[in-house]
Amino acid sequence: SQELEQSPQSLIVQEGKNLTINCTSSKTLYGLYWYKQKYGEGLIFLMMLQKGGEEKSHEKITAKLDEKKQQSSLHITASQPSHAGIYLCGAVPVLYSGGGADGLTFGKGTHLIIQP
């Protein structure tokens, strides 16, 4: 089954500093999704990456997918308090048996705290 490992599990960063969150898959990814979750709320879509080597940016957040399509990183530049929350990566495997779920498998998330 698809497994996604996120690192670090939690991160405390001083406001204004840059940070990187990683997501590693045990299998080649068909698509890699990044979501953000604020405590007690639902998930907000950030970005989707599908092609090896692809990179996308949204405001101060940049996500990359490596050429082998097994690892993605999320980079935040000049972090702000609004960036605090849980970041989750989700993926659909390239190959699945047909009996498996077509929904996303998620990593356990990275808890990001921004210190003023």
List interacting residues with other proteins (CB under 8 A). 30-31, 33, 35, 40-45, 48, 50, 88, 90, 92, 99-109
Distances (CA, A) of 61 to 21, 22, 102: 11, 13, 27
Sign of the dihedral through C-alpha 58, 59, 65, 67: positive
Provide, rounded to whole angstroms, the least separation between the CB of residue 101 and other proteins.
5
Provide, rounded to whole angstroms, the least separation between the CB of residue 16 and other proteins.
30
Q: Is 81 left (phi over 0), alpha (psi -120 to 50) or beta?
A: alpha
Provide, rounded to whole angstroms, the least separation between the CB of residue 35 and other proteins.
8
Using the minimum distance from each CB to other proteins, give the nearer residue, 98 or 116. Answer: 98
